[in-house]
Amino acid sequence: MKNNSYKNKAAISEKLKTISKREADLFYSLCDKKPNVIKTKNFKNALLKSGLKINDNRLHNLFRKLDSSGDEIHFEDFKKIISSSELLVEKALRGELALPDFSDFSKSIDKMFDEVIKNKSGELASYIPPLAKVDPDQFGISIVTVDGQIYQKGDYNVDFSLQSMCKPFNYCFALEKLGLELVHKHVGQEPSGRQFNDLTLLTRSLVEKSNKKFTRIPFNPMINAGAIMTAGLINSDDTYEKRLNFVKEQYGKLIGWSANSKFDSKFPRFNKDVAREENFTGYNNLAIGYLLMATGNLPGKKNKLKKDLNTNKNEFDFYIEPTVVDALKLYFSICSLEMTSTEVAMAAATLANNGVCPVTQSRVLNQKTVRDCLPILQSSGMYDASGAFFQEVGLPAKSGVGGGVFLVVPQLMGICIFSPRLDEQGNSVRGIEMAKRITSKYLVHIFDGAMTNADRVNPRIPISKWRANSCGEAIWAASIGDIRTLERLASEQKDLSIGNSDMRTPMHLAAAEGQLEVLQFLLEQGVKPKPDRWGGYGYFDAKNNNHKKILNVLDKLNMKFLKPNHLVEEPNGETDEVAKYDDELMVSELLFAAARNDITGIRQLIAKGVPVHAGNFD
C-alpha cells in the first residue's frame, strides 16, 4: 500500500515536472531580454500571428485575462492565464496548428489575390434578375483551418447569394435524416456531364421485385434536378416554415453561429426577393419539378384533387401539384440564403474537419455523412467542368451562380472565394483562378502524394522544417553513398542541388566523403557544383580529404572552383548543445529559421524545447 502510494506520488511529480517544463518552454519562447517576464503585447501578437482570432470562443477567457494583466506577465500568472485554453495555446506557440507558418501562407495568398484581381473576364448570372445587379468587381477570399485559424481578404464580409453552394449541405442534411441507402433511391451518384439545369435523368434498372423494370432519378445531388429532389427529402412532412428554419439552423451550426457566441458568424439571412424572382423566372426548375413528380420519386404527401369550384362550365380550376411546389419553394429559398465568404469557408472547414465546426468544436455532421458527400463534390461539384477541375485542382469543391466557390482540403482547411463574374460553365472566373494558383503552389491536390518539386510547398509543415527535411535526406544519402535513395528523390522531382542552411549541398557531402558514384549520379542528373555559405566548392572538401578520383571528375568539368573565404583548419570543439540535443532535424530546422530571419519560427522551436544554442555537424 505504502509502496503504491509512493509510486503514485513519484508518477505525479514526474508528470508535474513535464507539465511545467512544457509551460516553461512556452513562456521562454515569448521572452525578450528579461528571462522572468514576458510582454502581454508579445503574447497577444504571437496568438494573433498564428491565425487565431480575438473573438474565437475558445480564447475568450484568455484574452479577457490578458486585458486585465498589465504590460508584463510573470511565469506563475502565465500558467493561470493559459489554463483555460492550454492545448490551443500550446499548439499556436509551438507552430503546431494546421497551418504552422500562417504569416507566410497569408503573404503568399495575398500575392495571388493581387494578381487574380486583375482578371475582369466573365459575365454576371442574369437569369435571376437580382444577381445581375450585384457589383461585378467584388472579390473576397476566406480560408479557415480545422484548428480555426482564419485568413480573409477583400470583400470577405459581403453577403452574397449561396445559390448552388447550398446543394452539398442539403444533401448532407438529407443523408443525416434518411441515410445513404434511402436517399440514393431518389437520386444518383453519377456525374452527368451536362449543364446544371439539364432535364435529362438517369435511368436505373430496379433490382427489387416490382412490376417496373426501370426508374428515373437525377444523376446526382449537385445538379438542379438532384438538388430539388434532396430539398424535397428534407423533413418532407413538416411545413415550409419549419423546414426552412431547420435548414437555417443547420447552416448556423456549420458556420460557427450560436446564440451566445462572440464569433463573427451571423444567423443565415434569407433574401426573399431573390427567391421570388427565381420563382418568376426559373422555368427550367419548374419543369424539373414536374419531371421529378412524373418519375414517382419526389417525396411528399399525396393530395387529393380539390373539388372544382369554378362555376364557368367552359373553364376549370387549374391544379398545381403541391408536392412540386413544396420542393421548389424550399429549394429556391435555400438557394437565396446569404452568407459571407468567411461563413462559407467555416462551413467548408467543418467538412474538412469531418463534421466538427472548428471554432465551436460542436459536431454538426456525422463523419460518415461528410465522407459520403465529399466524393460527390469531387466528381460533380463544378458543373460540367467538374472532371477537368478535379484533375487540375484535385479538391472537392462547389460553386454557385452567385459567384461563390468553396473548396475542401480534407483535414486541413476550407476555402471560399467570392467574385461574381462567371465563366461559360457558370463558375466564378476568379474563384477558379485562385483555386488553380493555390494548388499549383501548395501540395494540397488529393493525389499529390510524394510527387513534388522544389517550388511547391506542403503548408502542413513549417517552411524551415520542410527545407530541413527535403534537403536533409539527400545530403545524408549523398554522404553515405546511398544511390537508391537519391534515385527515388530524383524520381519524386526533389531538387538535388538544394543545400542546407549553410548552403552545403549533396555534392559537397559526396565530395567530402569520397562518394564517387554519388558524384557521378548527381552530375548525370544535371546538378551543377555550387558554392556554400563561405564561397567554398565541394572540390576543396575532396582536396582536404585527399579524394583523388573525385578531383579527377571535377577537373573534367573545366570550372573555376573558388576557395571558401574562411577556412577553419581544425574546428575548435563542439557546442555543449550539440552533444546534448540529438534531434538533428529540429536543429537543422532551427538553423533554417535563423538563416531566413524567421523569428516566429525560432520562437516556435523554443516553445518545443529546442535549445537556441544548438548547432549541426558544421
Which listed residue (196, 257, 418, 521) binds ligand GLU by CB under 6 A?
A: 196
Q: How far is the CB of 444 from ligand GLU (least distance, A)?
A: 25
Q: How far is the CB of 372 from ligand GLU (least distance, A)?
A: 21
Distances (CA, A) of 33 to 39, 82, 577: 10, 22, 21
Q: How far is the CB of 239 from ligand GLU (least distance, A)?
A: 22
Using the rule CB under 6 A, is 278 a contact of ligand GLU? yes
Q: Which CB, 163 or 353, lies closer to ligand GLU?
A: 163
Q: How far is the CB of 423 from ligand GLU (least distance, A)?
A: 13
DSSP code for 32? -
Report how far residue 450's alpha carbon sits from residue 21's, in angstroms, rounded to the nearest whole number.
Answer: 36
Encoded one letter per residue, x for contact with ligand GLU by CB under 6 A and - for no contact, window 209-228 reads ---------------x----
Encoded one letter per residue, x for contact with ligand GLU by CB under 6 A and - for no contact, window 359-398 reads ----------------------------------------
Buried b / exposed e over 405-415, threshold 16 CB at 10 Å, is: bbbbbbebbbb
**Taking a C-beta distance cutoff of 8 angstroms, is the pair 512, 545 a contact?**
yes
Q: How far is the CB of 131 from ligand GLU (least distance, A)?
A: 9
Encoded one letter per residue, x for contact with ligand GLU by CB under 6 A and - for no contact, window 325-354 reads ----------x-------------------
Report how far residue 125's alpha carbon sits from residue 425's, in angstroms, rounded to the nearest whole number.
Answer: 11
**Taking a C-beta distance cutoff of 8 angstroms, is the pair 404, 165 a contact?**
yes
Name which of residues 397 to 416 contact ligand GLU (CB under 6 A): 400-401
Q: How far is the CB of 172 from ligand GLU (least distance, A)?
A: 17
* Part in contact with ligand GLU (CB under 6 A); list of ranges 38-46, 205-213, 251-259, 278-286: 278-286
Report how far residue 382's alpha carbon sits from residue 399's, in angstroms, rounded to the nearest whole number.
Answer: 6
Using the rule CB under 6 A, is 539 a contact of ligand GLU? no
Q: Which CB, 162 or 550, lies closer to ligand GLU?
A: 162
**Would you report the helix, strand and coil content of the chain in percent, each value rounded to 5?**
50, 10, 40
* Part in contact with ligand GLU (CB under 6 A); list of ranges 134-142, 177-185, 277-285, 530-538: 277-285
Q: How far is the CB of 229 from ligand GLU (least distance, A)?
A: 13
**Taking a C-beta distance cutoff of 8 angstroms, is the pair 125, 132 a contact?**
yes
Q: How far is the CB of 388 from ligand GLU (least distance, A)?
A: 17
Beta bridge partners of 144: 150, 414
CA 527 to chain centre: 34
Per-residue H/E/C for 531-547 = CCCCCCCHHHHHHHCCC
Nearest Cα to Cα of residue 295 among 357, 216, 242: 216
Helix/strand/coil for 24: helix
Beta bridge partners of 407: 397, 415
Instruction: List the alpha helices (DSSP H) in 381-505.
Output: 386-393, 429-441, 463-480, 483-491
Distances (CA, A) of 471 to 67, 459, 523, 599: 44, 17, 17, 21
Beta bridge partners of 140: 154, 418
Q: Which CB, 286 or 594, lies closer to ligand GLU?
A: 286
Q: Which CB, 98 or 292, lies closer to ligand GLU?
A: 292
Helix/strand/coil for 398: strand
Q: Which CB, 224 or 439, lies closer to ligand GLU?
A: 224
Q: Which CB, 424 or 492, lies closer to ligand GLU?
A: 424
Which listed residue (40, 285, 340, 470) binds ligand GLU by CB under 6 A?
A: 285
Phi and psi, residue 99, nearest 5°: -110, 95
Q: Which CB, 50 or 163, lies closer to ligand GLU?
A: 163
Q: Which CB, 401 or 489, lies closer to ligand GLU?
A: 401
Q: Which CB, 100 or 282, lies closer to ligand GLU?
A: 282
- Which residues make Cβ contacts (< 8 Å) with residue 236, sequence separation at least 6? 299, 300, 301, 326
DSSP code for 59? G
Which listed residue (226, 426, 431, 499) binds ligand GLU by CB under 6 A?
A: 426
The site for ligand GLU, by CB under 6 A, has a size of 12
Three cell numbers, residue 350:
467543418
Report how far residue 106's alpha carbon sits from residue 109's, in angstroms, rounded to the nearest whole number.
Answer: 5
Q: Which CB, 278 or 384, lies closer to ligand GLU?
A: 278
Three cell numbers, residue 82:
493559459
Beta bridge partners of 202: 217
Cell 449543364, residue?
Answer: 195
Q: How far is the CB of 285 from ligand GLU (least distance, A)?
A: 5
Beta bridge partners of 270: 337
Q: How far is the CB of 263 from ligand GLU (least distance, A)?
A: 27
Encoded one letter per residue, x for contact with ligand GLU by CB under 6 A and - for no contact, window 300-329 reads ------------------------------
Q: How far is the CB of 196 from ligand GLU (least distance, A)?
A: 5
Which listed residue (103, 195, 197, 235) binds ligand GLU by CB under 6 A?
A: 197
Q: How far is the CB of 197 from ligand GLU (least distance, A)?
A: 6
Which listed residue (50, 163, 230, 333) binds ligand GLU by CB under 6 A?
A: 163
Contacts to ligand GLU by CB under 6 A: 163-164, 196-197, 224, 278, 282, 285, 335, 400-401, 426
